[in-house]
A = this chain, B = another copy of it.
Amino acid sequence: MGSEAVQVLTIDTLNPNVRAMRQTSSVYTRKAQIEKELKAGVEKPFTKVFRADVGDCQGGGQKPITFIRQVMALCSYPELLNSDEFPADAKERAKRILGECLGNSIGAYTSGWGLQAVRADVADYIARRDGHASDSNDIVLSTGASDAIRAVISLLLTGKDGAGRAGYMISVPHYPLYSASIVEFGAYPILYCLDEESNWSVSLGELEMSITDAKTKCKPRALVVINPGNPTGSVLSKENIREIIKFAFRHRLFLIADEVYQHNVWARDVKFISFKKVLMEMGFPYNKLQLASFMSASKGYAGECGARAGCVEVINLEPEVKAELFKILHVKLCPPVLGQAVLDCIVNPPKPGEPSYDRFIRETTDILSQLRAKAEFVTDVFKSVTGITCNKIQGAMYAFPRIFLPEKAVQAADAAGQAPDVFYCLELLEQTGISSVPGSSFWDMPGTYHIRISILPQMEELKPALEKLKEFHLNFLARYE
């Protein structure tokens, strides 16, 4: 008897929805291989991979905010509360968090919703941000924003096949968590293309066209909008948000607003406006729309990706519907407790006059101004290269330039069995060590090719890397023109 006789789980018998999820990009996989090869001493035209692929702030060299890390250390090892090395407000914050924990320990489970005090601080933050009340009973803390996003998507599933299954409207391009989860859950992704010409805004005509087309294939349930945009780096205007809200109202869609980059706005002529704020300002009946808005400790100025902390505000949900959301979350017990503490520091930072205030402001201003400078610099570089166009990076952490590939390059990619953008990114990686994400990882945009480059690496590394990228690009054009 061969061992295959006892293999229950093979590539042919595993969950077909998981199989239908897209593979990790071959560029990502090749990056990992190259890093191993470099470690093993294999000679390359570079000594180190330049990671411009992931939205990983501290992985790119950003320094953590001292206040946040002090609170984490104090919560982890409360003996430090007796140390003179920590400012009084960090100690106070740690004591407050510990006081909320059972047994005064971050080692205890919290409620599946998260600590009540942190939820209240999130609600206060949102109320200040929007000028509209927020109820802590509408706030749920989560394991990164990802987990809350998946819980909300799950709640909206209709659980039926064919035309009865739930459809989720999602932009092209989009952060792949959405399509991956929709496909894993057996639902239907209703794709709508963002308007690159008009700075990646959401076009009403496109929304209408895509929902009309989808209605024979699924039951449209929700509309996902990522603002500021990932991968696009755009920031939606209030007018565009109003149009989107009206559209969602007209088609009875649940609004899923991914607003994890709300602190990351760089262009001086735009600002972040939350869907909640606009919807409240529009008044009845729009203020009765159901909305889930997500934020995260991984982005903004903190960039505490490793803490896996996020939250969602759900509005206009009946209590019994929230109880059902709780069921999904409670199965996994609770979000990481130190992550909850991190989020608390972000939504309720040191105040003027408190001992950590000046340092906190200095550090956050420094991080945000560096990111702004890099957003401007990267935009300028991409605008200056032949065969590349690039919208201004208004927000978030990425440039998403369009790459005009010569026909011969497209043929070469085809011969290699690769999508043209993947082919380009792989060549870039092999020749320069620059790791980027091909546009098709954010879903295919027919006829156009893009790459996503993060602005997170430090400026002193970003500058020479973009020089290399430019050189590579011109050589690439020359080779295939």
Contacts and interface: CB of A to CB of B under 8 A. Distances in A.
Given A15-B159, A143-B336, A58 B316 contact: no
Contacts of A330: 24
B336 A308 contact: yes
Interface in A204-252: 221-222, 249, 252
A329 to B, nearest CB: 11
A288 interface: yes
B57 A107 contact: yes
A62 B307 contact: no
This protein's copies in its complex? 2
Given A85-B83, A154-B184, A332-B143, A107 B64 contact: yes
A370 interface: no
Nearest to A166: B15
A156 B76 contact: no
A90 B288 CA distance: 53
B76 A318 contact: no
Interface in A420-443: none
A59 interface: yes
A56 B321 contact: no
Contact of A324 (B19, B158, B253): B19
Interface stretch (A2-10, A125-133, A195-203): A2-10
A474 interface: no
Interface in A1-42: 1, 3, 5-11, 13-19, 21, 23-24
Nearest to A74: B73
Given A18-B327, A331-B177, A306 B143 contact: no
Interface string A49-82: 0010010111111101000011011101101100
Contacts of A15: 154-159, 324
A409 B464 CA distance: 79
A361 to B, nearest CB: 19
A189 interface: no
A385 interface: no
Nearest to A102: B59
A107 B336 contact: no
A364 interface: no
A288 to B, nearest CB: 4
A290 interface: yes
Contact of A7 (B18, B290, B323, B339): B290
Given A17-B159, A186-B159, A221-B8, A108 B58 contact: yes
A143 B143 contact: yes
Interface in A357-388: none
B72 A77 contact: yes
Given A77-B72, A306-B338, A9 B108 contact: no
Interface string A326-350: 1110111111111100000000000
Given A9-B254, A336-B338, 19 more contacts: A7-B288, A13-B158, A15-B159, A15-B324, A17-B157, A21-B327, A58-B103, A72-B73, A73-B77, A80-B80, A107-B303, A107-B307, A108-B306, A144-B333, A180-B327, A184-B328, A305-B333, A306-B334, A308-B308
16 contacts: A11-B318, A14-B321, A15-B155, A15-B159, A17-B157, A18-B324, A58-B108, A59-B105, A72-B77, A76-B76, A107-B302, A150-B332, A181-B331, A184-B328, A308-B333, A336-B339
Interchain residue pairs A-B with the least CB separation, the first 4? A306-B337, A59-B102, A59-B108, A58-B107
